[in-house]
Structure 1
Amino acid sequence: MSRPPKARNKALLAYCELLRRDGERATTIDAVAARAELSKGGVLYHFPSKEALAEAALEEFRLSCEQDLASMAEAAEGPARHYVRTSWTSGSDLDTYYIAMLRLAQSSWQPAVEALEWVHQAWLELIQEEVGDRYAAEAIMLIGEGLYHHSSMPGEWSRGTFARSVEHLLELVDHLKRS
């Protein structure tokens, strides 16, 4: 049996889950402690403020992005197809921290805005390097973003319709790469 996550990780994941579900204003230290099943003092031991929680989430986001960019650059199928194929995946560490950064950016936290701009630009550059055309690269990114958006929506329509069409969308990616 695996060991339960350490208190720091539990608090950080609880923070991200609360950001996703309730937004930045409702994500208080007390709420994080309750969600993580820790005492408030236990959370404050690792994160003396909400800002410290946000900074830790930002660091984890950057690490997850660097791993994703490396995987994307090394993917045998190429960065464009890899981007679209993995856009459908939710529940990963990258997804957890990406949503946290989106919610923090929506509340005007500038480091989150800058981190999101950085990773979107890095994804675009990898795809553009492969396909050779900025507009084709942007279209490929929009395909991936649409898949990501729909994968997070409730209901069968999103999962069923797009799950069946990912391979067709990858054929469209191949077409855009040749254009």
Structure 2
Amino acid sequence: MDQGYSFLKNGIERYGIRLRFVEIKDSEFILSLRNDERLGKFISKTSNRLSDQEQWISDYKKRELKGEEFYFIVEDSQGERYGVTRLSDLKKGIPFELGSWLFSRESPPGMAIKADIIAKEVGFDTLGFNVCKFNVRRDNKSVLNYHLRYEPLIVEETDIDIYFNLSKENFNKGKQKFLKFL
């Protein structure tokens, strides 16, 4: 972690939750989220083999060390894992990408939104990006409606996905609305 991102190594605690880097020991938890039929409805399919997930995380850890990508486990104050979120495409001069936002059915109310806010704060405020890009499946109405409240720019549409760019300014305006209700 020689890129100056060592401050993230110990995790980020805000709004009563904690984001910490994914470790290989989290493979089974991540696999349980990704392969849950209901939760996995709007995400890309993944292998159900634990060894494949462990290898993916091992490869990811190399990208993390280079500061190319940050994949977080989202926990409560007792260390109970509830979800994941990821920042990728961390190259200066282009929008960072937000994705892999997935939470268990037992996740406390508001935790997924708090984690999304923290991840965006890391991208905008900590890493210094001005634009975040992400995509949402058209049929994932609740997530689509959530993201539209930030007033992102639609940059592309397919039959399956809508691709967005969200400015730092619009994020900060939208964030204040959400934090009032959390």
> What is the TM-score normalised by the length of structure 1?
0.30
- Bigger radius of gyration among the two: 1
Higher relative contact order (CA 8 A, sep 6+): 1
Greater per-residue helix proportion: 1
Greater per-residue strand proportion: 2
